[in-house]
Amino acid sequence: MIYFEHTLLIVLSILLAITTYFIAKNRKSILNIEKELEDIFDRVIIMHFDLNGVILKVSDAYEGIFGFDKSDLIGVTIDKNYISPSKPSKPIWSFLEEEGHFNGEMQLFDNEGKPYWMHKQIIKKYHSNEEHTGFISIAHDITAIKLYQEQQRRIVDQSRHALMGEMISMIAHQWRQPLSTLTSITSHIRLDNELGRVEKKELNDKLIDADKIVMHLSTTLNEFRNFFKNNKTIERTRLYQLVKESLKLIDFKLKNIEIELLIDKNFSFETLKGEYIQVILNLISNAADALKDIENPKITIELELTDETVMLKVCDNANGIPSDIIDKIFDPYFSTKSKNGTGLGLYICKTILQEHLNGDIQVQSDKTGSCFNIISPR
């Protein structure tokens, strides 16, 4: 029974390596599977060490990946103080002593100092008499996946910076008129005071007006703060209200644009409210930018329901997206706004919907305009 479990764990580890490899390589043609499998086994390092951590055997893949002579490892004691970045609570050796196995990540360096990420699984090794004699370590290269994840993190960070700039711009637009009015009130109070014609009732009325403006500024700030806070709680919300909140945040860009809402005011569904609003904001903002030089500009926001999905359509009459670029608009860093665009807006919309909201986004376009369809589960 011990041998069966022992062999099964090794097979599962190698299958995990195969799966990881294909994810990283995006699954090439089936005609290349044999060559791919050879490459996979060339990237799997199998190591045997005894109960004291002394290395007994190492597979040839070690030399192929790291460029060191594997014979230099034989007889060397592993670093018992090494802590896995994926399990930082205690050293790997402590996991082996206390639990008898380990499953996590390690970062290692080749003979030129180049970093590699390995996923390592360590299991017990038994002698023929079922005596526990040491451990077998099976590690496969996950560097490609880690590099991809790092790239995704950089893109998300850049999008957050871009979003922060947008937020500051939105707040500035929302505050400009109220601040101007507040300045006018205080100027009148100061002038009346200098001329000695301050009347108690008039002063009280102006102070009340000033308080209302300050309250409005505070409310506006809270609306933005609630939107941008990192709230990952799924909640039931009315879609119509969600869209209205989005329009309010960006109304400074919609002054001369007709907005048509074709949404059941009572329909509600469950979603991550802040992230859904971020998608709507991006699409409405893009539509407003595209409509700058269009006569009778119009944005239509329409709800279409099926038994399983909620589809919110954000449409404009901005003469459509050229056919030679429509397949690229969801790619990171692709922008039609020259130097003024980050090229991350639609990419982030797609990422949010696919990875956070279990949904998707589609685009339809012709010479009259474009529709972006936000699809999420009902």
pLDDT band of 96, cuts 50, 70, 90: very high
Phi then psi dihedrals of residue 318, to 5 deg: -95, 30
In angstroms, the CA 262 to CA 253 distance is: 20
Please give the distance of CA 274 from its chain centroid, rounded to a whole number.
13
CA distances from 82 to 43, 66, 94, 106 (A): 22, 18, 10, 9
Domain ranges of the chain: 2-141, 156-229, 232-378
| 108-138 tens-digit pLDDT | 888 888 888 888 999 888 887 788 899 999 8
DSSP code for 218: H
Instruction: Say if residue 298 is exposed, middle or buried (CB neighbours under 10 Å; 0-12, 13-18, 19+).
Output: middle
Mean pLDDT estimate for the chain:
80
**pLDDT tier for residue 30 given thresholds of 50, 70 and 90:** very low
Residue 5: pLDDT band with limits 50, 70, 90:
very low
pLDDT in the model for residue 50? 93
Q: What whole-number distance in Å separates Cα of residue 244 and Cα of residue 208?
A: 28
Contact 278, 284 (CB under 8 A): no
Q: What is the pLDDT of residues 244-299, one digit of tens each?
A: 988 887 777 888 899 999 999 999 999 988 788 888 988 998 899 899 889 999 99
Q: Which CATH class is domain 232-378?
A: alpha beta
pLDDT at 14: 52
Q: Do domains 2-141 and 232-378 have the same CATH topology?
A: no
Strands 258-262 and 298-305, by their bridges, are parallel
Which CATH number is correct for 2-141, 1.10.600.10, 2.40.30.10, 3.40.50.720, 3.30.450.20? 3.30.450.20
Q: Which pTM value belongs to this model?
A: 0.52
